[in-house]
Amino acid sequence: MGQILNLTSTVADNFALVAASLLSYRHRQENPYQKGVRFEQ
């Protein structure tokens, strides 16, 4: 039972990480100022 719970929490952590990275990526794409700064570099 503990292993199943542990696996579930690991999957949830991974999902949260992926969701956060996707959100930050979308935010960068939608922000023209950051996009311009990144383009200059």
pLDDT tens, position by position, for the chain (41 residues)? 567 777 888 988 989 999 988 888 877 766 666 555 555 54
pLDDT at position 41, please? 47
| DSSP state for residue 31 in the 8-state scheme | -
pLDDT at position 23, please? 84
Amino acid at 18: V
Long-range CB pairs of 7-16 (<8 Å, 24+ gap) are none
Phi/psi for 25 (5° steps) reads -65, -45
Give the SS3 label for residue 41.
coil
